[in-house]
Structure 1
């Protein structure tokens, strides 16, 4: 069938860096384990299977550096296997408990079998699913993007932090995946004018913004269905609002269908505490992933989950999605000279975690758009630029994909206190990087660890959590911990009294980015500097 336009799926995989070697088990590490089980392993299983079937599909997958770091961390890999073993044991216990129950026994078996299948897949790739994604990128099925190093909200960081955040991310991506990223997912889709110059310097050619950014573009409103070239070979792509509503809207979106699985009913809360306690990560009740009910309706009454009913809805919803894209493209292609591109960016964890059937829905979409029977073809931003150019010239204002299209989520009375501390630390990091342009030995180690602590404190996740009111204590503790370590280390540098034991402890606890280079904070840094010195230059340091 003749292709009239394109649909581009862009998934953003991200979690905050959560790693606690100081304890054998830590509740927040389960965020990572659950995301692997519910999202990233199901995605990987699907993508590998479709490739084996010879299906010509393609999509963009942004892997944030914290997620990539955790996926390749030996401690977390070992802990994840232990977590899977514990959940598989729970599955066996559940099969015994529900034996003879026509509604719940098949579900217990389904969960146990999925866990065993994903454990096998994980081990088949040597616990390195990043290697599977690398393979899929090499075969042309995935375009892999990065994000900023610790998912910092860049518009609220000083420009001195932009290069360290972005260059560190690019270098880590090349090390893990063997290829340079073509694009970047700006955290929270937050764009600040001028950042495109740095993206260009780092070889990043495209990113995504909310559709409101294109509506406020200048000198005139930009077309949502083609890229906008900002200069330097960097193009922005706009999120399509229609496909966002179909998946995200809590009232009319597909995930709210009454036949899909209910997220908020879990045996971790429904069954006696003594029964579920051995399978929890702490003293408090929590989700286990064993959920036996469907959404049913808007009230509290819930009926047992029926997987075959959900499968039927997946098929009808994926048919509806493809039909809507064909109608949309049919209309759009009459309005513009180039084939229209409908771009749908989503947080990856929507599919599988919040929407249990999400990975199957995405598989159904990939099959439907790659079967050659649609007037809409799959593409990626990179491929669209290669085939149809970078788009017309234009400029954008500050924007995010958060509430109302701006930054209220990340600076408001619940979290605004963090920024004066972050900005002060940024100034000190720049001052030290310029005072020690070529540090060696323990001074270099200390400067690199100070940079790690600053970056980890800058994670947009902490401000987001404070705003949403979920695990506020944890986000607050993490922010303060990284800032306190930063100042402890930088003071020791200034005073010439580095405590190697304390420094080693910080490196052990927060080892993200082992190749991080503190010199990226030096505004005059040149990679060919050859002088070596642990003595500071005469550069003013920030005193507090």
Structure 2
């Protein structure tokens, strides 16, 4: 893409004066990825005619200084990895540009020499200025020193070219295999890979690898996905061509919360380096904390070529195109950033010495920043940051010196920076559609102003011949240039729009001229994000109005008869002798659709991608949802008139058996091998506590996740419980019971549920549903299920209505485990604590999660159906009183955070409050996580005390239970997975919470025995 300027504001991050100077022991491991790319800008016309200057300025200010740094690279000084990614497009230009670049340097040297002379006296200086200035001797001397720096840089660049050819530089880099340096390739023209069909993406990756091998003489160490743009399936393309390493944004691994960890992960055979924008923004685009925006650093946007009279260049004999007269980008700049609100005309003069003095401070501030953000990376030490290479030196003039200070610090000769040994990277079960661009999806590359370009790219792609000979391979090379992402990126910029449009159409005509059987018609679609899609039709223009789009939602299998059709009137762009019709529309994530144009029977089927609500980065670097999910889903329901409804029988004649006691569950499932559907938080619990289950899982089925061993998913080591996402595998597996861990929420789940029900019905296997009655769903396709085989973890109505509750309900031995916020750990803490207490006293367990009844709880259910509040309260209190009468302590717990406010209500209406007010436990354990705020703990305790006073019962918070893992959301609310956190993160969180709350924090499960002793002491 074209280079992008950093936001110019004052950097607020300063080094901590209290810390000693940086040394090896303080050094976290940094993986710095530099995406080195430049659009196709090398020209043949006059020098100093943009955009060719972008390339030559980047060479002078960024690439050559980086090559110099690599010449003196000493891996002993840097505990980390420098990744240099080169696009073939840039490499080809560098190999072809030496003659023109040398000519450019000679012209620039002529200007710099003149500037050194001009800045020696004020009268000479003002003679060429558009607006003569009154400068002090010290100010003029400062400009003079800066001019001298520019002349030395030109001389150094010319000297470099005399010593090396750029081809030799690349070949030597390939041969040397510098320790701590990786060389990556990319797609030929920075092509945005998710846009293309798998075969095209495969060809583009192959070309990137081949091009790298030709220049560097070896295989690349990894592959930079342009714009970090990824969609599932690209990982298989990479590994097929020998790529074992790539980079993604945080969204690419399913992270969506402020504290979700970045770092190094593994997905099958691919090492995934996850860039952390939260830290990267301190060097790029964060208004309050950007290093390059420090007032003393050089201002990029005020150039000598804008300040001097046009005749200046005539007198020097430097040719300037007529349209550039008066605003020539020379790369020579005399002014400093000065301040955020300071206009270009009021900028202060650049002080070379002051800027250089600031660089070491920002080197130190950077390491301090990493030290303070260790909790944001999964192993506490390996930070991954990715930037466009041109940030350093070109946009941020002092950036190369900063890089040198970070990666090649001046240490005593005998000192070696010891690289910490990272633990094996955690395994990721899934990767997700994502980019590192605005909202972390594809919006910038699919705007209403440029989506017609996408349509033409897809039109050509659909008709490309196989690259079997020189002629067809040349056609592909021209398609690579035509389909690069840079012109799409430039289109939203008004200053570059016309040039991008003209160049794109030229390249379109060039490649189409090589297609002998070109058909000018295409129907396609592409997701802008998981909810919004652009629908595109390309055809010949006509006098009549364009026909409407007809859009229909399909079942997961693509069945054409299940959904109604929606008619859409598209927008129209006439371009290149074609009519491009397009329409942006909201769709359901992961749903399948069929698109056609009225009057045509041809259909284009597609599926929306996975993963959540897109996020926007605010100026304070925090993220905010792009959509309000509740409003969005209501809108989708209105558009599709209830299309989210699943096949529910309106008047079911069969009903499952209801059970809620351990004895009932043991009678049904005891000793059986269970097939579990699906891998949500309940499935996670069934595997975590597998040894406690009355029917241990032998296989887990899921509509999206697939793993050879479930232990990899829950970070628990090998469990030998496979996870399968293929419904066809269900009849081939060996199991003799089925457990459904979820309501039927998504259409994608239907094939798996139907296949499991078919096996269970045919083999007469018991089926247990934790939530909805599975017989309510019309999924049996002619089978005749025996209702005696189907069970639901619930309370029969007759039990709930049979007897009144106790008149005086005041059991003293109740312990409740409740959440302070939406953290994980309430149910797990109950199970761990139950087992620890059972070593000393008689314990009963009432699980308010239905999963508990499968894992050793005495009673458990989700909710009592169709019973009014008063008889329901009577039943639940009678049940609890019976449990409490027979033992020393009863454990129960909440279902969400006590402070949670349901939509349209306050916290009094949340499930945990209702559970507390039902059972009135005297002792409370509160669950927290490494991210819990102390003020939330204090507010929760205060809320409990208020409830206890209202009910006139005592209430003691025994302590806090902290699970060691960090919860990551999956693509939907039914899916979560966990990453462990390090001891130092746990310890820091413990200290913070204990100091602020006065409550002891117990790590679970490691310190569950200590928590049990605290409970026993309080009984």
Q: TM-score, normalised by structure 2?
A: 0.43
Q: Distance in 1 between matches of 2:231 and 2:318?
A: 45
The counterpart of 1:98, out of the listed 109, 112, 119, is: 119
Deviation at 1:484, TM superposition (A): 0.7
Question: Which is worse superposed, 239-248 or 125-134?
Answer: 125-134
Larger RCO, structures 1/2 (Cα 8 Å, 6+ apart): 1
Question: Which is worse superposed, 473-482 or 187-196?
Answer: 473-482
**What residue is the counterpart of 2:356 in the other structure?**
311
Alignment CA distance shift 1:420-1:493 (3 Å) = closer
Alignment CA distance shift 1:378-1:411 (3 Å) = farther
**What residue is the counterpart of 1:478 in the other structure?**
503
Kindly report which structure 2 residues correspond to 1:425-504, keeping only aligned pairs within 5 A, or say none.
425-429=460-464, 432-433=465-466, 438=468, 444-491=469-516
**What residue is the counterpart of 1:354 in the other structure?**
395
**What residue is the counterpart of 2:432 in the other structure?**
397
**What residue is the counterpart of 2:455 in the other structure?**
420
- Larger Rg, first or second structure (1 or 2): 2
Q: Distance in 2 between matches of 1:274 and 1:422?
A: 44
Deviation at 1:129, TM superposition (A): 6.2
Question: Which is worse superposed, 344-353 or 296-305?
Answer: 296-305
Q: Distance in 1 between matches of 2:102 and 2:419?
A: 35
Deviation at 1:449, TM superposition (A): 1.9
**What residue is the counterpart of 2:334 in the other structure?**
292
CA contact (8 A) 2:482 2:511 kept: no
**What residue is the counterpart of 1:43 in the other structure?**
66
**What residue is the counterpart of 1:199 in the other structure?**
238
Q: Distance in 1 between matches of 2:330 and 2:408?
A: 31
The counterpart of 1:84, out of the listed 102, 105, 119, is: 105
Report how many aligned residue pairs link the two structures.
Answer: 467
Secondary structure in 2 aligned to 1:345? strand
**What residue is the counterpart of 2:283 in the other structure?**
247
The counterpart of 1:115, out of the listed 154, 163, 166, is: 154
CA contact (8 A) 2:267 2:428 kept: yes
Alignment CA distance shift 1:470-1:372 (3 Å) = farther
**What residue is the counterpart of 1:501 in the other structure?**
none
CA contact (8 A) 2:34 2:386 kept: yes
Secondary structure in 2 aligned to 1:184? strand
Deviation at 1:49, TM superposition (A): 3.2
Q: Distance in 2 between matches of 1:126 and 1:307?
A: 31
Deviation at 1:388, TM superposition (A): 4.2
Deviation string 1:219-262 (CA, Å, 9 cap, x unpaired) is: x999634433222x112221123321210124320011000011
Deviation at 1:90, TM superposition (A): 0.6
Deviation at 1:273, TM superposition (A): 0.9
Q: Distance in 2 between matches of 1:44 and 1:264?
A: 26
The counterpart of 1:178, out of the listed 204, 211, 217, is: 217
Aligned alpha-carbon RMSD (Å): 2.9
CA contact (8 A) 2:35 2:86 kept: yes
Q: Distance in 1 between matches of 2:175 and 2:370?
A: 26
Deviation at 1:493, TM superposition (A): 10
Higher strand share: 2
Kindly report which structure 2 residues correspond to 1:370-385, keeping only aligned pairs within 5 A, or say none.
none
Q: Distance in 2 between matches of 1:375 and 1:175?
A: 35
CA contact (8 A) 1:3 1:376 kept: no
**What residue is the counterpart of 1:526 in the other structure?**
none
The counterpart of 1:325, out of the listed 338, 360, 370, is: 370
Alignment CA distance shift 1:176-1:390 (3 Å) = farther
Q: Distance in 1 between matches of 2:313 and 2:301?
A: 16
Alignment CA distance shift 1:172-1:63 (3 Å) = same
Deviation at 1:118, TM superposition (A): 1.5
CA contact (8 A) 1:72 1:130 kept: no
**What residue is the counterpart of 2:39 in the other structure?**
16
Secondary structure in 1 aligned to 2:67? helix
Higher helix share: 1
Question: Which is worse superposed, 268-277 or 313-322?
Answer: 268-277
**What residue is the counterpart of 1:163 in the other structure?**
202
Deviation at 1:215, TM superposition (A): 4.0
Q: Flag structure 1 segments of 5+ consecutive residues without an equivalent.
A: 439-443, 495-544
CA contact (8 A) 1:403 1:409 kept: yes
**What residue is the counterpart of 1:504 in the other structure?**
none
**What residue is the counterpart of 1:261 in the other structure?**
298
Deviation at 1:376, TM superposition (A): 8.5
Secondary structure in 2 aligned to 1:315? helix
CA contact (8 A) 1:259 1:294 kept: yes
Deviation string 1:324-354 (CA, Å, 9 cap, x unpaired) is: 223333x568xx6x56311011110111111
Q: Distance in 2 between matches of 1:450 and 1:135?
A: 29
Q: Distance in 1 between matches of 2:177 and 2:357?
A: 34
Deviation at 1:448, TM superposition (A): 1.8
**What residue is the counterpart of 1:138 in the other structure?**
177
CA contact (8 A) 2:77 2:417 kept: no
Alignment CA distance shift 1:127-1:179 (3 Å) = closer
Alignment CA distance shift 1:166-1:135 (3 Å) = closer
Alignment CA distance shift 1:135-1:419 (3 Å) = closer
Q: Distance in 2 between matches of 1:28 and 1:157?
A: 28
CA contact (8 A) 1:268 1:288 kept: yes
CA contact (8 A) 2:263 2:275 kept: no
**What residue is the counterpart of 1:511 in the other structure?**
none
Instruction: Indicate whether 1:154 and 2:193 are aligned.
Output: yes
Secondary structure in 1 aligned to 2:348? coil
Q: Distance in 2 between matches of 1:304 and 1:342?
A: 36
**What residue is the counterpart of 2:273 in the other structure?**
237
Q: Distance in 2 between matches of 1:373 and 1:191?
A: 44
Alignment CA distance shift 1:390-1:56 (3 Å) = closer
Secondary structure in 2 aligned to 1:103? helix
Alignment CA distance shift 1:388-1:199 (3 Å) = farther
CA contact (8 A) 1:206 1:235 kept: yes
